[in-house]
Amino acid sequence: MSSLIGFSENTDLQHPWEQLANTKVLRLDPAYPGHVVEADLESLLRGLSFHISIPLLYGHDYLDRNPLALCDWDCFGGQTALLALGVPTWVPIPSFRCGIAARDRLVDSISCDCRRTKQYRNGEAVDYGADMTDVSETALDRYKVYDRHGLSAENIGHIEFSLLWAQNKNTQQLLFWYIFYIYSVPGLLDSLRQELASSGVRSISADDPPRITRLNIGALGKQCPLLKSTFLESFRVTEESIMFRRVTERLTLDDGKDQYQLRPGSWLSVSTALTRHVSSIYPLPLEFLPDRFVEGSTASYKTLRPWGLGLGLTMCKGRTFAEKKVLAVAAGMIALWDIEQAVGEWQHPGFRTGATVLDPASKLRVRIKRRTLD
């Protein structure tokens, strides 16, 4: 977290997430004598999130070898709505074709990574002499399962890409909204800083610049109720999930007034987002209330059912991971960085359809500088 911003005016020396966010150093501006940058907040956090989760899973070699993976990720990301609508991939819309090509490159690169990991696991010579020593246990265990079922590298590439999408897409967007609300809701940042400082879940070094030396990620959600409640409220206001279920046997639905017969083979789409504006469940549903889910010394989503992590057997398998990651990154940012809107007061960027978590409708330029610790 301490190296979120490198303060380099040379874009070639910036981190990939800074480049993606069109980061500009303002220290030459007499109005901003300290080290301040201007950046696009959503791109910055999306890139950062990508560079945290991918090396943790596949090891550092994957991104070193595929430095354009994040661009391909973004290029494909803009086209998922057309795919979800069932548009065939051969339809000659230029942006759509580019998105499909980007997806194919990602699948290929993951297949190759998987082959290298297998070579490393089997003690064989690894293609290009790549260093695969830091591939995670999770990835290694998954590859063992693929091997047991005799899957080809291409099949594995497709499966891993889908998992990567599930793992990253919503988490990245939720992280953005969470940070946006933390910094833009008046007084919230100070309250969270106090809560984090008194909870003892993290320590900060006295170095210049300061670094986080200890962060108990497991304790964040338990010992910082406002931090967790703000996370849940950010999810409540930005979630627009639609789940699809295929009817496999004749089904009768009764809404108390009418009956509906569903034949096998039909599809049901269920929107969990319909409940998030119901005032009997959430008083003042259109307001962002950071402490909405605080109950005594804890915060819980007991009351947040059904919600956008799915229902039944196919409920999101990564929900605990997502929560821990978003809370941990936010705790680090809160501790080390000050953020304000680039021009004027904070303005909500508006919503645009995305995946389960909505996308911002417009870019949000912000100014970022290191927090000065007393």
**Residues contributing to the site for ligand HEM (CB under 6 A):** 163, 166-167, 170-171, 174, 241, 243, 308-311, 314-318, 321-322, 356-357
* Closest distance to ligand HEM from the beta carbon of 45 (Å): 13
Give the residue at shortest CB distance from ligand HEM: 318
* Closest distance to ligand HEM from the beta carbon of 178 (Å): 10
Residue with smaller CB distance to ligand HEM, 178 or 282: 178
Residue with smaller CB distance to ligand HEM, 111 or 241: 241
* Closest distance to ligand HEM from the beta carbon of 227 (Å): 16
* Closest distance to ligand HEM from the beta carbon of 167 (Å): 4
Angle between helices 225-238 and 319-336 (to 10 degrees): 120
Contact 216, 202 (CB under 8 A): yes
Residue with smaller CB distance to ligand HEM, 14 or 241: 241
* Closest distance to ligand HEM from the beta carbon of 314 (Å): 4
The dihedral over CA atoms of 122, 57, 356, 223, expressed in degrees to the nearest 10, equals: 140
**Of 50, 22, 114, which Cα lies nearest the Cα of 368?**
22
SS3 annotation, 65-81: HCCCHHHHHHHHHCCHH
Token digits of residue 213: 């030396």
**Residue 40: strand pairing partners:** 365
**Of 141, 230, 136, which Cα lies nearest the Cα of 192?**
230
What residue ranges in 116-227 does DSSP mark as E strands? 202-204, 212-215
Residue with smaller CB distance to ligand HEM, 126 or 232: 232
Residue with smaller CB distance to ligand HEM, 197 or 315: 315
User: Longest C-alpha distance within the chain, in Å?
Assistant: 71
Annotation-wise, does 112 bind a ligand?
A: no
Residue with smaller CB distance to ligand HEM, 232 or 368: 232
Residue with smaller CB distance to ligand HEM, 125 or 313: 313
Q: How far is CA 374 from CA 206, 323, 371, in A?
A: 10, 30, 10
Angle among Cα 238, 334, 183 to the nearest 5 degrees reads 50
How far is it, in rounded angstroms, from Cα 316 to Cα 268? Answer: 18
* Closest distance to ligand HEM from the beta carbon of 184 (Å): 20
Angle among Cα 185, 48, 192 to the nearest 5 degrees reads 30
How far is it, in rounded angstroms, from Cα 205 to Cα 218? Answer: 21
* Closest distance to ligand HEM from the beta carbon of 170 (Å): 3
* Closest distance to ligand HEM from the beta carbon of 311 (Å): 5
Residue with smaller CB distance to ligand HEM, 87 or 315: 315
What residue ranges in the chain does DSSP mark as E strands? 24-25, 36-40, 202-204, 212-215, 242-246, 251-254, 259-262, 267-271, 294-295, 298-299, 337-341, 351-352, 359-360, 365-370
Contact 358, 32 (CB under 8 A): no
Q: Annotated binding residues, as ranges?
A: 316
Q: Binding site membership for heme: which residues?
A: 316
